[in-house]
Amino acid sequence: MATWSLGPITVTRIEELLGPANVPPDQYLLGYDRALVDRHRDWLVPNHYAPAQDRLVTSIHAWLIRTGWHTILLDCCAGNHKNRPFSPRFHRLETPFLERLAAAGARPEDIDIVLCTHLHADHVGWNTVLKDGAWVPTFPRARYLFSRTESLYWDATQNPAMRSDPRREAYDDSVLPVVARGQAELVDGAHALDDGITIEPAPGHTPGHVMLKIAAAGAHGVFCGDAIHHPLQVYAPHWNHAADEQPAEAALTRRRVLEHCAERQAWLFPTHFGAPHVVVIKDAPDGFAARFIAGRDG
């Protein structure tokens, strides 16, 4: 378990899954060119590319963020026992995610805020757990923050196109129970959580996708959700992920995130990068480059 510090704020990675993607690289990243992998093979293997399987390595993890005022859990992975036939990697999992959270020193009742950058299945799953045959909020004291645009997009009562989309099941079992318990808070535009901690729109992967920015004691961090999926996209920001629902907007947001990180020397905390998971973005002659930053153990 690794922890990073941004001034007085600590960030701990809580792992759910780590390993090769279940589709070939050209189905994971659209526009994929193997020549880029060959050029960067020395650092891609083994943490970001598995040559034996010809698969990109991806992580599914949450970020536990502790400030002087709040304990925040950002993106809640896929969850246990969730029915996800549309995504075999996340279907009916049984992982020790909550035990790993406890090992990081946080019980469910210690979480003050849950923020989901968007409402895909691998970002909302631990919002709820199965109890006596019903889905109930995992974090009983938390305010769950969702983008209003995102919620309206996935809510079949507001967006009829979702009625036939099987992915909507994640909204039904991992978001609506939170709403029913009165723990959901819908946010619009930029939204401040703490001094120096803001939620900002980052559309493209989904219409209401958001990111979290931290500025504390001269340190900067960006939690980009799925605006960037794999470190290869630092070098090829025009490559979209196959699940980007608004590809042109996704590419614009990705470049904007990279430019911000390079300009502010902000550490980038993605949700799907392999070890060591966190990078600094630098300007390079042909675009951008990434330098990984290892967290401290424990």
| DSSP, residue by residue, 91-147 | TT----HHHHHHHTT--GGG--EEE-SS-SHHHHGGGEEEETTEEEESSTTPEEEEE
Residues of the chain with pLDDT under 50: none
For 2-297, the fitting CATH number among 3.60.15.10, 1.10.3720.10, 3.30.365.10, 3.40.50.300 is 3.60.15.10
User: Residues 193, 72: contact at Cβ < 8 Å?
Assistant: yes
Residue 209's identity, in one-letter code, is: H
| Domain chopping of the chain, boundaries | 2-297
Helices and strands in the chain: count of H runs, count of E runs: 10, 20
Q: What is the residue type of 169? A: E
Q: What is the pLDDT of residue 288?
A: 97
Q: Give per-residue pLDDT as tens, 219-276.
A: 999 999 999 999 999 999 999 999 999 999 999 999 999 999 999 999 999 999 999 9
The upper half-sphere exposure of residue 133, i.e. CA atoms within 13 Å in the direction of its Cβ, equals 0
User: Cβ of 55: how many Cβ atoms within 10 Å?
Assistant: 17
pLDDT at 194: 84
Q: Percent of the chain at pLDDT above 70? A: 100
Radius of gyration of the chain (CA): 18
Q: Can you give the pLDDT at residue 129?
A: 98
Global pTM?
Answer: 0.96
